[in-house]
Structure 1
Amino acid sequence: MRRLFTVFLLFIPTSIALAQTFGGYSTSPDAGIYGILTNPATAASTHFKWDVNIAGASAALGNTYAGFAKSALRTDSLKLGTDYFPDTTSNLYQFAWAQADILMPSVMYSIDETQSLAFTWRVRGAANWGPFSPRLLNFATVHFPNSQYIGQTLDMGHVAGTFNTWNEFGFTYARVLMESTFSRIKGGVTLKYLSGIASGYAIVSNTTLRLNSPTSMTIDGGHLVYGYTENLARESHPDEHYYNLGRYPGVGADIGFTWEWRPDSEGGDGADYGGNDYFNDDADAYRLRIGVSVTDIGGINYNNDLYNTSLNLDKPDIDPRLLNKSRGESYKHWSNRVKQYFTNDPVQRSSYYMQLPTALHLSADYQFGGGWALSGNAVFGLNTNAKTDFRNNMITIAQLTPRYEHGWWSAFLPMSVNRYQGVDVGMGLRLGPVILGSGSIFSDLASSHIKRADFFLAVRLPLGNSKQGKTREEKRAIRQVECAF
């Protein structure tokens, strides 16, 4: 039975970001093309004529149930009590999540000092798992079949696991919508063509378990439904089937707005780029910037054809040991064997629509001057209570990031808490064209057992054209004249 539950963990790719892509950096005025990922309005009125991304990656995963020893990174097999430690005393429902974001070669171009265009190519992945009751997880993962639960009934409820990987081609337009002497409003939109790479799901509903003895278990009612895209079923040369950009199409969109308070012409230049030597010199001369955006509206259509299964799990008596994967048994053989113990439902799902991890972003950035600044942002996953199981969820998170910026380098300290009460402290650095860091490195180093981990790394080339455009003082004088009339 432990292996039956492990199938949900298999839907979480091991190569995959937590809830905030490039957390702590994307809210900086220096973020450029990386700011577009959470709010397309930030593309308007930037500090650079061109912003070219070479490559960037942000990745993380986490769960609420099991903590892992740092030494587990060096082992091929995980042992209970040595490599991982389940939270057997918890009374809360348990979850796991993962996200990945790789920003491929992309470019942002400032048409003039008020409007910009951008093209972004991203390869993304997302996975979600849960909710599981802690009693059910203890039964399945701690010395299964756990004799402590003999004679007890365990309600599985409704549990879903999904994963989705896709290419995303985004076209962004942003501009200054309104400007006065002391404020500026910007808006932006990103339209996306989505190309699914691979996807899958597993859903268990309305199922209860009763352990009668170590060799007998009763499963009352319920269904198990799982499926995956056909390219995952190919055993010979599967890679060639992952890059058909038209196989699994979809559309998506991001939309965002920012408001800037600009009380003085010299205020806010947190990055200190050196006076009037760059294009649009007063682009970051705000004291306070507030942003709101909605990202990842839309989804992808998938066709899983014959690669799906629907099972009636009702079984008055079954030896739970039969559900374990035998040593040396392939996953394909194990899956086919386990299916024989249950009844196939006649209704099969031939296609499904996987929703993107739609999220609401609220942000604020205050520049004290002299390079010091403080930003705060909150991300709210909007799919958490969606009626469909075919969705990816963005984990709700709140983050506070103090930072210092000066010319070619900057440092920032992201501190965050997520909806599952996980608290993380990390650090990031910008060294010329290189950005690197982690949103949880300090909290991970301080913890004996790790439940979450993430990192980000990027290389970009922001290019400004020297001595172009009007100076801050000239533009401030123009705005004052316009307001007077």
Structure 2
Amino acid sequence: MKKLSLLLGVVFVVNNALNAQSYFGYTFDNYSGIHGVTLNPAHIVDSPFKADINLISGSVFLGSDYFGINIQDILKSEEGFDIDSDAQKFIKDDNNFFLNLDFLGPSFMFNLNKKSSIGITTRVRAFLNVNNINGELFESLSDGFDETTDFDFNIKDFNGTIHAWGEVGLTYGRILIKNEDHLLKGGVTLKYLQGVGSTFFSAPSITGRYDASANTLTTAGNLNYGSSQEDFDEVDFDLKNLTAGYGADIGFAYQWNDKKNHATSDPATQRFTKYKLKIGASITDIGSINYKESELTTYNLNATVDADSFDEDVAEAIEDNYTGVTTIASTKVRLPTALNLLVDYKIVGKLYASLATSMSLVSNNTPTANSIINTVSFAPRLEISWLSIYSPVSFRQYGDIAWGAGLRLGPLTVGSGSVLTNLLSNNSKFTDVYFGLKIPIYRKFEKKVM
């Protein structure tokens, strides 16, 4: 039961830390190389690179619709920032928390010939989703029920999943159609997964009432809690107990080629087929990891308990006050499957504008599954071989707008999809940051109709 305490603790950390995906804005760049392949495997072919070698990259994306923070208050505060008193809270019946960690290890891509390319990626990833938690109850649990008034709550489809895994991906991409006017390419990534472990909980319905005068909490319903392995410990996990799984990404990209570029450019200077319009579509993170010896406990919450018992440890209070039945069973934890669409338009010269969306194909009501935050982004950028500057504006699930900035300078990339919003907004709900260090090896080729 200590793992439920840790899972709730991670939620509190997200709550106190400033409230994917991954590499916001950078993956739209024609020079993103192996990073772009993680968004759409079709991008591996007809790229500007003879080879692209990633040394180390990392992306962190976290947020919640429970509260917003003014970053300027944190920077200006001399006495320290108090999350409870200084943050603006948006308490609802169905608040949500989200965390996405994505680390790209040694990875590379290279061309087999003019029509096909191959790549290998290594990644370590962790997701946390907590969906449909009652904000007033969450506040009371985190504050130790320092309430002076009664309140009722009714929770529907409450669930949470934290999952960490590693993956090795093999990507193959090929040009399917190419002529002076059009180019169509496709790609697929096959993934071998190694599950580190997962903890999860769900409750189809929980109702309750807090009685301030009696300082009691009366609840009704059932809480299902589980972990991927019996006695699994997220803090001190054993890498010898990794669980294998399989996954895949698939994608296509169509280009309407730039006829003006054909007529006026020197073919010897073209590293990839220049276009006026590019349309891409991909489905990423298809698959799951099946933990065959998961420990599952169902707690009967039909009871009235002393609210003070929740002051120290929520998980311990649940275990001490409610009856639970534990079984060992197989549990499949789904990856955060998503549909990604991209429209990239060349405005003039080296100036482009992208309109992109990432939509979860996993409902947030699905137990034992992670999901991305649905996002629509508009990202203008200036790109040349050794430099890209971009500034994405994103409309994110839960009603938040984020404005960010990024820079690619030779082998180094840094950026954030929300840095400008975080600096300017009075109530930022999301924050993300990423970096990357790679060795790009550019190529030149003679452009001709195949």
- Give the alignment's TM-score, normalised by structure 1: 0.83
Determine the structure 2 residue equivalent to 1:248.
243
Secondary structure in 1 matching 2:85? coil
Given the superposition, is the C-alpha separation of residues 319 and 195 from structure 1 closer, same or farther in structure 2, using an over 3 Å criterion? same
Q: Is the Cα contact below 8 Å between 1:145 and 1:214 reproduced in 2? A: no
Stretch of structure 1 that moved more, 137-146 or 27-36: 137-146
Once the two structures are TM-superposed, the CA of residue 111 in structure 1 deviates from its matched residue by 0.7
CA 1:249–1:291 in 2, change beyond 3 Å: closer, same or farther?
same
Q: Indicate how the Cα distance of structure 1 residues 234 and 427 shifts in structure 2: closer, same or farther if over 3 A, else same.
A: closer
1:123-178 C-alpha deviation (Å, 9 max, x unpaired)? 111111121244544555578242322xx532122311111111011000000011
The residue that corresponds to 1:295 in the other structure is 284
Tell me the SS of whatever aligns to 2:259. Answer: coil
Partner of 1:392: 370
Of the three residues 365, 374, 384, the one matched with 2:344 is 365
Give the drift of 1:453: 0.8
Residues 349/72 of structure 1: CA separation in 2 closer, same or farther (3 Å cut): farther
Amino acid at match of 1:340: D
The aligned residue for residue 341 of structure 1 is 321
2:86 maps to 1:87: no
Task: Report matched runs for 1:40-439 at 5 Å.
Answer: 40-70=41-71, 79-82=83-86, 84-88=87-91, 93-137=94-138, 140=141, 144-149=145-150, 152-230=151-229, 233=232, 238=236, 241=238, 243-244=239-240, 247-264=242-259, 266=261, 276-277=268-269, 281-303=270-292, 305-306=294-295, 308-315=296-303, 317-325=304-312, 335-336=315-316, 338-345=318-325, 348-384=327-363, 388-439=366-417
- Kindly provide the CA deviation profile for residues 365-412 of structure 1, in whole angstroms up to 9, marking residues without a partner as x: 1112321111110001010256x4010011110001001113321200
SS in 2 for 1:21: coil
CA–CA distance in 2 between the matches of 1:141 and 1:171?
A: 44
Structure index of larger Rg: 1
RMSD value, Cα: 3.2
The 3-state SS of whatever aligns with 2:370 is coil
Aligned 8 A contact 1:19 1:396 in 2: no
C-alpha separation in 2, matches of 1:36 and 1:423: 26
Indicate the structure with greater strand content. Answer: 2
One-letter amino acid of the structure 2 residue matched with residue 193 of structure 1: Y
CA displacement, residues 8-54 of structure 1 (integer Å, 9 cap, x when unaligned): 352587699x9332111111111111111110011111121111111
Alpha carbons 1:417, 1:423 under 8 Å: kept: yes
Shift of 1:60: 1.3
Output one character per residue of 1:219-277: Cα deviation in whole Å (capped at 9) or x when no partner.
34311222324497459x935x1x33x721110000000000014162699xx9x9725
Query: Are the counterparts in 1 of residues 181 and 257 from structure 2 also a CA contact under 8 Å?
Result: yes
Task: Note if 1:28 corresponds to 2:32.
Answer: no
In structure 2, distance between residues paired with 1:335 and 1:8: 8
Query: 2:263, 2:208 → 1: CA distance?
Result: 61
What fraction of aligned residue pairs are identical, expressed as a percent? Answer: 29
The structure-2 alpha-carbon separation of the partners of 1:160 and 1:440, relative to structure 1 and needing over 3 Å to count, comes to: same
**Counterpart contact for 1:424–1:440, Cα < 8 Å:** yes
Aligned residues: 443
- One-letter amino acid of the counterpart of residue 291, structure 1: G
Map Cα deviations across residues 269-328 of structure 1 (whole Å, 9 max, x no partner). Answer: 9xx9x9725xxx35141111100110000011225555x43211110x321111221xxx
Judge which range, 252-261 or 39-48, deviates more: 39-48
Preserved contact between residue 268 and residue 368 of structure 1 (Cα < 8 Å) = no
Aligned-partner residue type, residue 128 of structure 1: N
SS in structure 2 at match of 1:222: strand
Instruction: Return 365-374 or 180-189, whichever deviates more.
Output: 365-374
Contact 1:268 1:367 in 2 (8 A): no
Q: Which runs of 5+ in 2 are unaligned?
A: none
Question: How far has the Cα of 1:112 moved from its partner?
Answer: 1.1
Distance (whole Å) between structure 2 residues aligned to residue 8 and residue 145 of structure 1:
19
Which TM-score applies when normalising by structure 2?
0.89
SS at match of 1:49: strand
Q: C-alpha distance in 1, partners of 2:258/2:95?
A: 47
Q: Which residue of 2 aligns with 1:10?
A: 10
Instruction: Provide the secondary structure at the position in 2 that maps to 1:41.
Output: helix
Q: Give me the whole-angstrom Cα distance separating, in 1, the residues matched to 2:93 and 2:68.
A: 15
